């Protein structure tokens, strides 16, 4: 049995990107929506543009689609400069959040609509639509109108229509935003499966961190028109390059202070008067001075007695408890007023809690569990 080959074309210098943004800037009057940026996206990638509202991610997507032109710089797709090429002349399709289905047409005709405007024969169109119905598991709903199917099924119709013309690149603008949480989670895996089967390059715009981390091969985190970090979901989560990325992705504890670099690749942070400095992995670009210690709640251990085998130990009082079914999160107030969170897995039925409100507890973590990042 052969081992699966890891998909990581961005690590291969001989790979040519499908998409290149080179020194791209976008201005709307006096407002700069996109600061100068470079970005490469590779064939067969499921790439996510992630950030809060107004960060510039949709503007980047609209420039790829051809609905906006860069104020400066070059965008190439498949080695071809996109300057002056209208949306309908690009091998790109776009799926909108609203789905934009034709209410008077059946599911079959909605999928066939774009194909009928080309030069395919009736037989070729029928075969292609049937392929798309099977791919998206909509065979049984081919004759129904959009109002006769569910939200998740409408989403799949829009996806099938967007993929029917076999674009090199499919752009998805908040495609799951209209679905409820459970259906959204199920549909994320369907999207991944369809993307792998078609080998189409997907670029998704989302403000949902969980969605981006679930579906994407790589994530670009954006803030105020800039790309702050581009990396795989595990690296974005485990080794963020800034407190902004650490705080935006998932849940995190933050303590501020002054850092000193150690010879062993670690850094220590003086964070409170009279408190023992905290040790953590030295983050990217850390030179010492003003810094922040970041650690995920699941990497923090909560105990009733002081652990003897760890140097990173703080004492506090339980302020609040959040029971999330599979997890419990303890909010612990430290003597200086800072609040740290510790998370424990509920891997057995709770007859009673080990800790409750107002309990004095110890929080601890290993020397490499957290990061010390420049501020």
User: Is the model's pLDDT at 112 over the cut of 70?
Assistant: yes
Mean pLDDT of 307-330: 91
* Tens-place pLDDT, residues 171-217: 998 877 666 777 777 778 888 888 998 999 999 999 889 899 999 99
Q: Give the C-alpha separation, 362 to 68, whole Å.
A: 54
Looking at residue 4, its pLDDT comes to: 55
* Tens-place pLDDT, residues 65-96: 999 999 999 999 999 999 999 998 999 998 87
| Nearest partner of 191 among 108, 95, 300, judged by Cα | 95
Looking at residue 38, its pLDDT comes to: 96
Mean pLDDT of 88-110: 88
Mean pLDDT of 43-70: 94
Looking at residue 190, its pLDDT comes to: 84
Contact between 183 and 152 (Cβ < 8 Å): yes
User: Is the model's pLDDT at 133 over the cut of 60?
Assistant: yes
Looking at residue 178, its pLDDT comes to: 60
| 208 C-beta neighbours (distance < 10 Å), count | 17
Q: Give the C-alpha separation, 55 to 34, whole Å.
A: 8
Identify the sign of the CA torsion 108, 111, 117, 122: negative
Looking at residue 236, its pLDDT comes to: 95
Looking at residue 351, its pLDDT comes to: 53
- Segment among 79-83, 136-140, 157-161, 350-354 with least mean pLDDT: 350-354
Tokens of 211: 């969605």
Three-class SS state of 144: coil
**Using 50, 70 and 90 to split pLDDT, how confident is the model at 5?**
low
Average pLDDT taken over every residue of the chain: 91
User: Is the model's pLDDT at 352 over the cut of 70?
Assistant: no
212 or 98: which carries more pLDDT confidence?
212
Looking at residue 111, its pLDDT comes to: 93
Contact between 26 and 70 (Cβ < 8 Å): yes
Provide the CATH topology of domain 251-374: OB fold (Dihydrolipoamide Acetyltransferase, E2P) (2.40.50)
User: Is the model's pLDDT at 99 over the cut of 70?
Assistant: yes
Domain ranges of the chain: 9-238, 251-374
* Domain 9-238 identical in fold to domain 251-374: no
User: Is the model's pLDDT at 7 over the cut of 90?
Assistant: no
**Using 50, 70 and 90 to split pLDDT, how confident is the model at 255?**
very high
Report the C-alpha dihedral over residues 347, 349, 351, 356, rounded to 10 degrees. Answer: 40
Mean pLDDT of 249-273: 92
Kindly report the pTM of this predicted structure.
0.89
What is the dotted CATH code of the domain comprising 9-238?
3.40.50.300
To 5 degrees, how large is the angle CA 74–CA 96–CA 84?
Answer: 25
Percent of the chain whose pLDDT exceeds 70: 96
Contact between 283 and 244 (Cβ < 8 Å): no
Max mean pLDDT among 41-55, 87-101, 149-163, 344-358 falls in: 41-55
Looking at residue 202, its pLDDT comes to: 95
Contact between 171 and 93 (Cβ < 8 Å): yes
Looking at residue 350, its pLDDT comes to: 59
| Nearest partner of 159 among 173, 148, 147, judged by Cα | 173
């Amino acid at each position: 049995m052969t081992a699966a080959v890891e998909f990581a074309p961005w690590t291969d210098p001989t790979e040519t990107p499908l998409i290149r943004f080179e020194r791209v800037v976008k201005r709307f009057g006096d407002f700069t929506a996109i600061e100068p940026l470079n970005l490469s996206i590779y064939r067969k990638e499921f790439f996510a543009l992630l950030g809060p509202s107004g960060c510039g991610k949709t503007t980047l997507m609209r420039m790829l689609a051809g609905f906006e032109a860069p104020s400066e710089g070059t965008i190439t797709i498949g080695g071809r400069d996109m300057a002056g090429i209208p949306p309908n002349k690009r091998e790109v399709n776009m799926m909108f959040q609203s789905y934009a289905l034709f209410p008077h047409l059946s599911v079959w005709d909605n999928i066939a609509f774009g194909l009928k405007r080309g030069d395919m024969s009736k037989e070729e169109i029928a075969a292609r639509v049937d392929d798309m119905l099977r791919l998206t598991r909509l065979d049984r709903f081919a004759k129904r109108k959009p109002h006769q199917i569910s939200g998740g099924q409408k989403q799949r119709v829009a996806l099938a229509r967007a993929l029917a013309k076999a674009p090199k690149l499919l752009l998805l603008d908040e495609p799951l935003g209209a679905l409820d949480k459970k259906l959204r989670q199920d549909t994320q895996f369907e999207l991944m499966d369809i993307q792998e089967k078609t080998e189409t390059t997907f670029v998704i715009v989302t403000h949902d961190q969980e969605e981006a981390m679930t579906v994407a091969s790589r994530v670009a985190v954006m803030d105020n028109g800039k790309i702050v970090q581009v990396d795989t979901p595990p690296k974005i989560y485990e080794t963020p390059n800034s407190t902004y990325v650490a705080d935006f992705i998932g849940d995190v504890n933050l303590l501020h202070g002054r850092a000193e670099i150690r010879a062993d690749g670690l850094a220590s942070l003086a964070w409170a008067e009279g408190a023992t400095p905290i040790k953590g992995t030295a983050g990217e670009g850390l030179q010492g001075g003003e810094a922040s210690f970041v650690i995920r709640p699941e990497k923090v251990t909560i105990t009733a007695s002081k652990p003897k085998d760890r140097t990173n130990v703080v004492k506090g009082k339980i302020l609040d408890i959040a029971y999330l079914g599979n997890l419990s999160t303890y909010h612990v107030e430290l003597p200086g007023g800072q609040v740290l969170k510790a998370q424990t897995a509920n891997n057995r039925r709770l007859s009673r809690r080990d800790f409750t409100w107002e309990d004095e507890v110890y929080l601890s973590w290993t020397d490499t569990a957290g990061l010390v990042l420049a501020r």
